[in-house]
Amino acid sequence: MPDAPTDVPAELVHLDVVDGLATITLDSPHNRNALSRRLVAELAAHLDTVAGDPAVLVVRIRSSGRVFCSGADLSEATADGMQEGARAIVSLQRQIAALGQPVVLELLGAVRAGGIGIVAAADIVVAADDASFALTEVKLALAPAIISLTVLPRLTSRAAAYTCLTGEVFTGAEAVGLGLVTRSVPAEGLTAEVERVCASLATGAAQGLRETKALLNRRLLAGIDADGEALAALSARLFASEEATAAMTAFLARGR
Distance from C-alpha of 54 to C-alpha of 44, rounded to nearest angstrom:
18
Amino acid at 247: A
pLDDT at 81: 86
pLDDT digits (tens, 9 = 90+) for 108-131: 999 999 999 999 999 999 999 999
Close Cβ partners of 197 (under 8 Å, ≥ 6 residues apart): 104, 124, 126
Q: What is the pTM of this model?
A: 0.95
C-alpha triplet 31, 181, 84: angle, nearest 5°: 40
Close Cβ partners of 206 (under 8 Å, ≥ 6 residues apart): 54, 57, 100, 101
pLDDT at 254: 86
Among residues 6, 9, 3, which one has the least CA distance to residue 26? 9
For the residues of 99-123, what is the DSSP string, one character each? -SS-EEEEE-SEEETTHHHHHHHSS
Report the share of the chain in percent with pLDDT over 70.
96
pLDDT at 74: 94
Does the pLDDT at position 1 exceed 90? no
> What is the CATH code of the structural domain delimited by 13-254?
3.90.226.10
Q: List the single range of 75-79, 122-126, 203-207 with lowest mean pLDDT.
A: 75-79
pLDDT at 136: 97
Confidence of residue 4 (pLDDT cuts 50, 70, 90): very low
pLDDT digits (tens, 9 = 90+) for 11-28: 999 999 999 999 999 999
- Asked if residues 31 and 62 have their Cβ atoms less than 8 Å apart, the reply is no
More confident residue, 78 or 144: 144
Measured CA to CA in angstroms, residue 26 lies from 37, 98, 159, 170, 227 at distances of 13, 20, 28, 22, 27
- Asked if residues 128 and 188 have their Cβ atoms less than 8 Å apart, the reply is no
**Hey, is 152 helix, strand or coil?**
helix
Q: Where are the alpha helices (DSSP H) in the chain?
A: 37-51, 74-80, 83-98, 115-121, 148-154, 157-166, 172-178, 190-201, 206-216, 218-240, 242-254
